[in-house]
Amino acid sequence: MKKVVVTGANGQLGKCLQAISANFPELAMTFLTKEELDISNIELVSDFFKKNNFHYCINTAAYTNVEKAESDRESAFKINAEAVKTLSEVCSENDIVLLHISTDYVFDGTKTEPYSEEDTTNPLNVYGASKLKGEDYIQQLCDKYYIIRTSWLYSQYGKNFYTSMLRFAEQGKKLSITTAETGTPTNANDVAEVCLQLVDSSASIPTGIYHYANKGETTWYGFAKAIFEEMGLLKEVDLSATDFFETQAKRPTYSVLNTKKMTRNMAIKIKDWKQSLKAHVMVTKDKS
């Protein structure tokens, strides 16, 4: 049985992993919140990992507030880069395979076709720069790793674009959503499934950097409109599009990810973002 530790267990992806872990009985899962293990403390991490003989570490811990990172660079780099360095060192010392979640924001958005794993990185904001530094540490320090870049994650858990739109709709807020960015909304539950599938069959999958996102592309306005359509709320919501939205952090105008390497190496079928959103709304409606 493979022993797997998940860091950042209280985050969006960590909760998705917990929710589906029972579907992988051959994996012995340990879920750790930041309160249970400070991954920036190398002594604590080293001691804990040595005692438990893990085979895999899935790192979902991250500083994800893109706006706040601009004024809190130190915290963003501490969590997204220096803590990842600690995990990389400890995983390497203990022969643990590190699976790390990264982002489309390592790219600058100047392309007009989906980004592949080989494309040049050039983050525009502090968040993207901190995530790229974490990637660099992994590649420098780990012999066995998987870096999975994904985009525009949403789920039923925590604060994300999907849950925010539903909350704003309940509050009757007027919504003006930008069309200035194009990317792919990605169901975090799908990412969780792929992570555990990868761990389950990793012996046959080459290590390295992979892109995983749902298929297709849209703008944030297109995503918002689709959410309200699926929820049957479109006629009730005051929703409009704008080509301008002022933010502290610069964002890539185009950050769609090419997922051919992932589908080729894992032989998986990736859902279209609209298809995955529809399935997600149906499931969450049934549970409510």
Stated length of the chain: 288
In this predicted structure, what is the pLDDT of residue 285? 66
Residue with tokens 């995530």: 131
Question: Residue 109 corresponds to which tokens in the numbers above?
Answer: 């958005």
In this predicted structure, what is the pLDDT of residue 177? 92
Phi and psi of 113, rounded to 5°?
Answer: -135, 160
In this predicted structure, what is the pLDDT of residue 94? 94
Q: Give the chain's residues under pLDDT 70.
A: 202-203, 285-288
In this predicted structure, what is the pLDDT of residue 155? 95
CA distance 172 to 236: 9
CA distance 212 to 170: 32
Nearest to 103 by CA among 36, 148, 53: 148
In this predicted structure, what is the pLDDT of residue 113? 96
Nearest to 28 by CA among 61, 63, 3: 3
Active-site annotation, residues: 127
In this predicted structure, what is the pLDDT of residue 267? 84
Write down the domain spans for the chain: 2-155+188-214+256-271
Phi and psi of 259, rounded to 5°?
Answer: -110, 15
Q: Which residues contact 26 (CB under 8 A, 6 or more apart)?
A: 1, 2, 200
For domain 2-155+188-214+256-271, give the CATH number: 3.40.50.720
CA distance 247 to 172: 23
